[in-house]
A and B are shown apart, each in its own frame.
Chain A
Amino acid sequence: MPTRYHSRYSIPFPVWSPAPPSVTLIFYRLHAVTVSNPNEFPQPTAMATIQPIAGELEPHPDVALVERVRGGDVSAYDDLVRKYDRQIFRIAQHITQNREDAEDVMQDAFLKAYEKLEQFQGNSKFYTWLVRIAVNESLMRLRKRRTGKMVSIDEDIETEEGSVPRDLADWAPDPEQNYGQAELAEILRKTIQGLPPGFRIVFVLRDVEGLSTEETAETLGLSIPAVKSRLLRARLQLRERLSRYFRRKKAPRVTKPREKRVGETRNDK
């Protein structure tokens, strides 16, 4: 049973240094973020950029590969490994935050999937099934490294309410252009590593690897509202942290000149 906190300060967040004058920090409370619109599910298929297209009409090409492996054709497994090894490695590294662990997880996940292939039902995608194995292996590694400290995807998660500070400074246009590749990668790595594991995993599966909300929920054994709630917090926290690097260097945003209203006299300039 996860620990549930109800203090509005229970979302872990770094201590904020005094904000520069151009930045306003306002705390908004998020109330019952996902419970408020339970009728939104299942999500419509018309997903813009974030959601992969869920084409369930034809059998997934992986099904044929899995059948071939079951029939004794090991080379078909070779194809499956090549198809998904990068994703599995990334997910493992995001969770364990350790290169060696990620290598071990990748091997163990593919070997375990191979051993258990008979148990694969085919009512979920092979990839989602594989990711679930990899997530479990990664969490096990993480627990081993942090001996004595409980690690679960429920860790550090506050549920129904909490406050998210908002850095309201706008970002520079194409802010990533202001950094070299290596520097940018370091910023992105450092930023996402600072998220609590339960937020980080949801963000990685859903936004980086493109799993649907339903697949993410199934993979992590979470409810759909829990996935949605974590995703929102993860996105907002990442945005907040990236703001430090990406905000416009020039100070206050110039407010748009207001149209003069009829009958109004303005003497400014």
Chain B
Amino acid sequence: MTCSEFLALLDDLIDDSVTPETRAELQKHLHGCDHCEVTLNTTRKTIEIYRSHQIYDLPPDLRERLHAAIMARCKKGC
């Protein structure tokens, strides 16, 4: 397996949607390729960081204001 082939299957590996055979091939490639190992680990980390740090939070006061506005209009039948 080449690095390009590995990269093409990177998402499937991360999302755990590869067959056991493909997984074995990917693991074999990883074993001998530091570059792909770094790419895999840092891509996983990228996703994890974006999942665990929400960068656009809805502040409580704004939330209440928007919520009140929405419900007021809904009660009026929009």
Point out residues on A near B: beta carbons under 8 Å: 26, 28-33, 36-37, 40, 43-44, 46-51, 74, 77-78, 81-82, 85-86, 89-90, 93-94, 102-103, 106-107, 110-111, 114-115, 164, 166, 168-171, 175-176, 184-185, 188-189, 192, 203, 207-208, 213, 228, 231-232, 235-236, 238-239, 242-243, 246, 253, 255
With beta carbons under 8 angstroms apart, the residue of B17, B46, B55, B71 that contacts A235 is B46
Point out residues on B near A: beta carbons under 8 Å: 3-4, 7-12, 14-18, 22, 34-35, 38-39, 41-43, 45-51, 53-58, 62-63, 66-67, 69-71, 73-75, 78
Q: Can you name 18 extra interface pairs (CB under 8 A) apart from A74-B71, A90-B57?
A: A30-B8, A48-B16, A50-B14, A85-B63, A89-B56, A168-B35, A169-B38, A170-B41, A176-B53, A207-B51, A208-B50, A213-B15, A232-B10, A232-B11, A236-B39, A238-B46, A239-B39, A239-B43
Instruction: Point out the residues of chain B lying under 8 angstroms from A246, CB to CB.
Output: 42, 45
Smallest beta-carbon distance B9→chain A, Å: 7
With beta carbons under 8 angstroms apart, the residue of A107, A175, A184 that contacts B66 is A107
- 26 interchain pairs (CB within 8 A)? A30-B7, A31-B4, A32-B8, A48-B15, A48-B16, A50-B47, A51-B15, A85-B63, A86-B58, A89-B66, A90-B56, A114-B78, A168-B38, A169-B38, A170-B42, A171-B38, A171-B41, A171-B45, A185-B53, A189-B55, A192-B50, A203-B50, A228-B11, A236-B43, A239-B43, A239-B45
Main secondary structure of the interface of B (DSSP, over half): helix
Instruction: Point out the residues of chain B lying under 8 angstroms from A114, CB to CB.
Output: 74, 78
Q: Which residue of A lies closest to B10 (CB)?
A: A232
The answer to whether A37 touches B9 (Cβ under 8 A) is yes
Chain A to chain B: the 9 pairs with minimum beta-carbon distance, closest first: A93-B56, A48-B16, A239-B46, A89-B58, A43-B17, A90-B56, A232-B11, A239-B43, A110-B70
Given contacts A44-B17, A111-B78, A207-B50, contact A171 B62 (CB under 8 A): no
The answer to whether B49 touches A242 (Cβ under 8 A) is yes
Q: Which residue of B lies closest to A43 (CB)?
A: B17
Instruction: Point out the residues of chain A lying under 8 angstroms from B34, CB to CB.
Output: 168, 253, 255
The answer to whether A81 touches B38 (Cβ under 8 A) is no
Smallest beta-carbon distance B58→chain A, Å: 4
The answer to whether A171 touches B42 (Cβ under 8 A) is yes
The answer to whether B50 touches A40 (Cβ under 8 A) is no
C-alpha gap A106/B67 in the complex (Å): 9
Smallest beta-carbon distance A80→chain B, Å: 10
C-alpha gap A94/B7 in the complex (Å): 27
